[in-house]
């Protein structure tokens, strides 16, 4: 009995310690994203009903895991998983480029509605320059590579819109403006495909454009970077001039430069954004041409060529002028053991690094289905531990730091559906002070009201009410309600004491 009692005390101490770690690790503001790609063919030819069933299941599971942003691929090769007058329907949706879905539906619009219903943001993911993937054999008659073949170059069985042609930059920005103006997206997202990844024996056919449009730049590599820089600046301004609150996110390859190429490079040895892809991500961050940065640090801790710990610290040091969000490979994380604990995979160690680096403002999972399939119990760890409590999006005062006014008329009322807390939305003049969501917190009697503690959040909702868990009316609680605008800037709070 004494031994049992001792073990019980030890167990209680461990449980208490574990729960305290969850609270310490919990972040009130954190981007918790997941990429849902179409280019792998997972939706091709499924049809409306089956694809909606698949996506519904994925969204439900991701919601349980704590995900609050879905990055949904809608333009893999100058095509569209949405209704577009500029580009053809994607073969990754219907099986044939240019063929509309039958029965007809709009996947982007449907995903926006489904994500918003679950309290998630939807960021439309486009691949800017890629015009044809390797596996695509036939292009639609209205595809840009068919209409304007001279605007593209071929490379390793790909077609790429030539970044050196200004008309291509204008066209991609026109596509982005079309999406942002017609759809209620929360963000627009580009991945790492600018100039193509280098392949031995392949050359980029852009010497003619370099001679015509070099703008006095003597080195073709500098000129290629210049082209992409012009595009990124134009793209950012286009999106924000259309809708100021729509966030622009970019997900570059995980290595900016290796130390052997530049004194500010990382202690790595791999493909480089700056030298090989002509993507000067640090310039974009420092010039404010993006709103969040998601480097794809897909390697494991201890990788000889690209060590995860080295890279997350490098990005934290060099690219934190904008919210830094880490692109994580779910499968690789659970494949490799923790170097400090052979009995565990690397998720705990990686999460500790996240929490130790204040510049890190979240995670995006590559890819959504791996988390949904719960490989290595990754999803279970998120929902039960790291993402157990709700989180708001990282603040972006460089867009706007204005918040709505506080809610009014906070009052609990008995209804046919039980005891419900109601409030009235504040009045707003424009998007900056218009309330679109609300945060509801709950504190026990005598407990300090601390809205920075995410464990006290009971709801983040678009509704102006919250159902209360009434018991016997003897327990006292303080409920706190605040309003959020489209950037999730938070108003002052209103408190209400309630007996449940």
pLDDT in tens, 373-432: 999 999 999 999 999 999 999 999 999 999 999 999 999 999 999 999 999 999 999 999
Average pLDDT, rounded, for the chain: 95
Strands 337-338 vs 341-345: parallel, antiparallel or unpaired: antiparallel
- pLDDT of 12 strictly over 60: no
Q: Structure tokens of 249?
A: 């996110």
Q: What's the pLDDT tens digit per position in 194-203?
A: 999 999 999 9
Report, as an integer, the average pLDDT of 106-124. Answer: 98
Report, as an integer, the average pLDDT of 45-60. Answer: 97
Q: How confident is the model at residue 260 (pLDDT cuts 50, 70, 90)?
A: very high
pLDDT the model gives residue 159: 98
pLDDT the model gives residue 320: 84
Report, as an integer, the average pLDDT of 234-254. Answer: 98
Q: What's the pLDDT tens digit per position in 127-154?
A: 999 999 999 999 999 999 999 999 999 9
Report, as an integer, the average pLDDT of 441-464. Answer: 97
- pLDDT of 14 strictly over 70: no
Q: How confident is the model at residue 169 (pLDDT cuts 50, 70, 90)?
A: very high
Q: How confident is the model at residue 26 (pLDDT cuts 50, 70, 90)?
A: confident
Q: What's the pLDDT tens digit per position in 464-490?
A: 999 999 999 999 999 999 999 999 999
Percent of the chain at pLDDT above 90? 94
pLDDT the model gives residue 11: 46
- pLDDT of 450 strictly over 50: yes
CB atoms within 10 A of CB 291: 23
- pLDDT of 263 strictly over 80: yes
pLDDT the model gives residue 7: 54
Phi and psi (nearest 5°) for 423? Answer: -150, 170
pLDDT the model gives residue 4: 52
Report, as an integer, the average pLDDT of 315-320. Answer: 94
pLDDT the model gives residue 224: 98
Please check whether residue 433 is in contact with residue 405, taking contact to mean a CB–CB distance below 8 angstroms. yes
Q: How confident is the model at residue 289 (pLDDT cuts 50, 70, 90)?
A: very high
Q: How confident is the model at residue 456 (pLDDT cuts 50, 70, 90)?
A: very high
- pLDDT of 9 strictly over 50: no
Cα dihedral sign for 216, 218, 220, 226? Answer: negative
CA distances from 52 to 93, 104, 184 (A): 12, 13, 19
Report, as an integer, the average pLDDT of 353-360. Answer: 96
Report, as an integer, the average pLDDT of 424-445. Answer: 97
Percent of the chain at pLDDT above 70? 95
Please check whether residue 34 is in contact with residue 71, taking contact to mean a CB–CB distance below 8 angstroms. yes
- pLDDT of 17 strictly over 70: no
Report, as an integer, the average pLDDT of 356-369. Answer: 97
């Amino acid at each position: 009995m004494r031994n049992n009692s001792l073990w019980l005390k030890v167990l209680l101490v461990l449980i208490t310690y574990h729960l305290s770690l969850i609270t310490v690790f919990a972040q009130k503001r954190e981007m918790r994203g997941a990429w849902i790609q179409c280019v792998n063919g997972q939706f091709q030819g499924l049809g409306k009903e089956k694809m909606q069933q698949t996506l519904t299941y994925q969204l439900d599971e991701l919601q349980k895991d704590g995900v609050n942003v879905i990055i949904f691929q809608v333009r893999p090769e100058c095509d569209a998983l949405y209704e577009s007058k500029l580009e053809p329907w994607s073969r990754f949706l219907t099986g044939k480029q240019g063929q509309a879905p039958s029965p007809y539906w709009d996947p982007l619009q449907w995903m926006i509605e489904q994500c918003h219903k679950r309290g998630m943001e939807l960021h439309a993911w486009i691949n800017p320059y890629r015009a044809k993937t390797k596996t695509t054999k036939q292009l639609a008659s209205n595809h840009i590579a068919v209409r304007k073949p001279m605007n593209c170059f071929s490379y390793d069985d790909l077609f790429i819109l030539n970044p050196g042609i200004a008309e291509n930059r204008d066209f991609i920005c026109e596509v982005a403006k079309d999406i942002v103006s017609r759809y209620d997206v929360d963000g627009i997202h580009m991945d790492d495909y600018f100039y193509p990844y280098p392949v031995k024996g392949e050359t980029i056919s852009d010497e003619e454009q370099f001679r015509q449009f070099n703008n006095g730049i003597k080195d073709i590599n500098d000129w290629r970077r210049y082209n992409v820089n012009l595009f990124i600046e134009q793209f950012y301004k286009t999106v924000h001039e259309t809708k100021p609150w729509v966030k622009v996110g970019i997900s570059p390859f995980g290595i900016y430069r290796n130390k052997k190429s530049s004194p500010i490079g990382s202690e790595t040895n791999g493909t480089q954004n700056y030298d090989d892809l002509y993507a000067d991500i640090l310039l974009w961050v420092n010039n404010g041409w993006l709103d969040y940065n998601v480097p794809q640090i897909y390697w494991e801790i201890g990788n000889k060529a690209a060590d995860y710990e080295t890279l997350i610290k490098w990005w934290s040091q060099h690219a934190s002028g904008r919210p830094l969000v880490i692109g994580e490979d779910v499968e690789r994380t659970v494949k490799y053991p923790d170097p400090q604990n052979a009995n565990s995979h690397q998720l705990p160690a990686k999460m500790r690094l996240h929490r130790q680096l204040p510049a890190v403002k979240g995670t995006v999972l590559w890819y959504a289905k791996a988390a949904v399939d719960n490989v290595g119990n990754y999803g279970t760890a998120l929902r039960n531990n790291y993402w157990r409590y709700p989180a708001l999006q990282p603040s972006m005062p460089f867009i706007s730091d204005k918040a709505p006014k506080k809610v009014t008329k906070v009052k609990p009322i008995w209804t046919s559906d039980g005891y419900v807390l109601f409030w009235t939305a504040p009045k707003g003049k424009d998007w900056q002070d218009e309330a679109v969501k609300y945060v509801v917190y709950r504190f026990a009697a005598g407990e300090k009201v601390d809205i920075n503690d995410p464990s006290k959040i009971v709801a983040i909702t678009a509704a102006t009410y919250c159902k209360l868990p009434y018991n016997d009316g003897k327990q006292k609680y303080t409920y706190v309600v605040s309003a959020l605008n489209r950037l999730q800037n938070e108003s002052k709070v209103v408190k209400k004491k309630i007996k449940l």
